[in-house]
Structure 1
Amino acid sequence: MWPSRNRTETVTCLACGIERARDEAREYDKHGDRWDREDKTFEYLCKACHSDLCHHPRGELEDLLVDLEAGRLDRDAFLASYLSAVEERYGPLEEES
């Protein structure tokens, strides 16, 4: 039997934690490839949190975070290693005026 079309699926926004109807959210794929759906489960962002995101390409960001063991180090140690790695890979950071 087919699922009911009028059934409202709810999802939880990974940024703010608020539960919303699925049609009030955006899919988020941490690998940046939401079109390849085989063996994937998606996370969701509410529309407000999604619009607050930077939508620029993230290139090597996921690999860099894995290399730096993001989520395993305390915040200060992670930020120090992140800034050092970014400067090493891409040059000095500049302040915007």
Structure 2
Amino acid sequence: MWPSRNRTETVTCLACGTDRPRDEAREYDKYGDRWDREGKTFEHLCKSCHSDLCHHPRDELEALLVDLEAGRRNRDAFLARYLSTVEERYGPLEEES
């Protein structure tokens, strides 16, 4: 049987944790390729959190986070290691003006 068209699916924003109707959210693909949909499940961001994201390419980011054991260290230790590793691999961090 086909699902009802007027059924509103609710999703949870992975950034702020709020529940939103699916049509008020954006799909998030941690690999940055939301167009290749085969075999994927997507997480979601509310429109506000989505607009706050940096939309620059994030090549190598997922692998870097795995290498640095993101989510397994306390926040301060992780951030210190992240900053030093990024500088080591890509050069000094400087803000563009």
Tell me the residue number matched to 2:35: 35
Tell me the residue number matched to 1:81: 81
Tell me the residue number matched to 1:6: 6
CA RMSD after TM alignment: 1.3
Q: List aligned pairs for 1:43-82, cutoff 5 A.
A: 43-82=43-82
Q: Which runs of 4+ in 1 moved over 4 A?
A: none
Q: Which has the larger displacement, 44-53 or 28-37?
A: 28-37
Question: How far has the Cα of 1:94 moved from its partner?
Answer: 2.1
Return the TM-score normalized by structure 1: 0.92
What is the aligned length? 97
Gaps of 5+ in 2: none
User: C-alpha distance in 2, partners of 1:41/1:9?
Assistant: 15
Aligned residue for 1:92, secondary structure, equals coil
Gaps of 5+ in 1: none
